[in-house]
């Protein structure tokens, strides 16, 4: 009986005492982060939580058909515990330091800020890079700037896939520009052999990159031939474009690349240099003999 009374006394004291409580805002933040992380994971991407808080919550390593891309996406998640599902009302803005926005503006990785409503389980996103002039941000220093969300920019599985493709294409275009640019640069060493090796290395890098991108976009088969879907798009393009016979070939290929890219990359466009270099590679690989014949006919 004495023991029972002692336990009852302790239990009463325990229930009456103050236990550590997790703040509601911390709960909302975790729920929002988990929801956004689940969307990326559902798309087949690898996601890590950032333990050191420098303004980002998640690091997304994008993947395509099980292959990890050489690209990363940084995500900041802002959770809200108020129902924001009413389309007639504006979304809340997010106050960020100007130096944080400047750091994001200068990174080559894509940065996404997501506002997640834990009540209605939906979110919206904004891409802060390119939104502000760099000098303006530098002048503001640690001053704060409001980042606004647009209801048309819903963050869901489709948006995540579109953004993954966007960063994949931009990354490929950037490296292609570096490789093509290096072909026109003299070697640091004046030796002819080193200069030739430098040129060969740049050509090899560009060729390998273009082949991989063409595979990803659904233009090439693994063995190197054109996919049926891309070939059908070229035929369809040939019926739509005008010009000389040689011009029709290049224009039909351009049209087909744009169409196929749009269909296979969650409705993304394709950067200009990537488009032009892919067109040149396809024409050279598939239509070289035809182009030579057409050129001779034009000269005759």
Mean pLDDT to the nearest integer, 170-190: 80
pLDDT value of position 183: 81
Kindly report, residue by residue over 268-300, the tens digit of the pLDDT.
999 999 999 999 999 998 888 777 776 666 665
SS3 211: helix
pLDDT confidence bin for 18, thresholds 50/70/90:
low
CA 9 to chain centre: 60
Judged by phi (left if over 0) then psi (alpha if -120 to 50, else beta), residue 155 lies in beta
Mean pLDDT to the nearest integer, 8-24: 64
Q: Is the dihedral of CA 134, 147, 174, 251 positive or negative?
A: negative
Round the average pLDDT of the chain to a whole number and report it. Answer: 89
CA distance 7 to 78: 44
CATH 3.30.930.10 fits 24-155, yes or no: no
- Reported pTM: 0.86
CA distance 284 to 274: 15
Higher confidence at residue 23 or residue 124?
A: 124
Checking if the pLDDT of 194 tops 80, the result is no
- Least trusted range by pLDDT, from 188-197, 216-225, 237-246: 188-197
Checking if the pLDDT of 69 tops 90, the result is yes
pLDDT value of position 5: 57
Domain ranges of the chain: 24-155, 163-299
Checking if the pLDDT of 128 tops 80, the result is yes
Half-sphere exposure of 163 (CA within 13 A, CB side): 28
């Amino acid at each position: 009986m004495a023991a029972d009374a002692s336990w009852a006394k302790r239990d009463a004291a325990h229930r009456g005492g103050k236990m550590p409580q997790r703040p509601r805002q911390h709960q909302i933040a975790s729920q929002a982060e988990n929801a956004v992380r689940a969307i990326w994971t559902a798309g087949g991407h690898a996601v890590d939580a950032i333990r050191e808080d420098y303004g980002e919550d998640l690091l997304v390593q994008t993947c395509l058909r099980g292959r990890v891309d050489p690209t990363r996406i940084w995500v900041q998640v802002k959770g809200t515990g108020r129902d924001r599902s009413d389309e007639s009302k504006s979304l809340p803005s997010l106050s960020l330091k100007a130096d944080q926005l400047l750091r994001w503006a200068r990174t080559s990785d894509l940065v996404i800020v997501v506002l997640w409503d834990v009540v209605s389980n939906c979110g919206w996103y904004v891409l802060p890079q390119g939104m502000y002039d760099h000098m303006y941000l530098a002048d503001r220093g640690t001053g704060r700037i409001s980042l606004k969300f647009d209801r048309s920019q819903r963050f869901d599985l489709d948006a995540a896939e579109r953004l993954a493709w966007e960063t994949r294409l931009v990354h490929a275009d950037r490296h292609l520009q570096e490789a093509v640019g290096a072909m026109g640069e003299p070697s640091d060493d004046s030796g002819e052999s080193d200069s030739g090796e430098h040129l060969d290395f740049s050509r090899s890098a560009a060729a390998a990159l273009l082949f991989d991108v063409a595979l990803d976009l659904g233009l090439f088969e693994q063995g190197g031939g054109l996919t049926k879907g891309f070939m059908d798009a070229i035929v369809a393009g040939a019926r739509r474009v005008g010009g000389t016979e040689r011009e029709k070939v290049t224009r039909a290929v351009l049209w087909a690349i744009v169409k196929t890219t749009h269909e296979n990359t969650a409705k993304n466009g394709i950067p200009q240099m990537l488009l032009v270099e892919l067109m040149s590679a396809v024409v050279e690989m598939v239509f070289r003999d035809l182009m030579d014949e057409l050129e001779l006919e034009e000269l005759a």
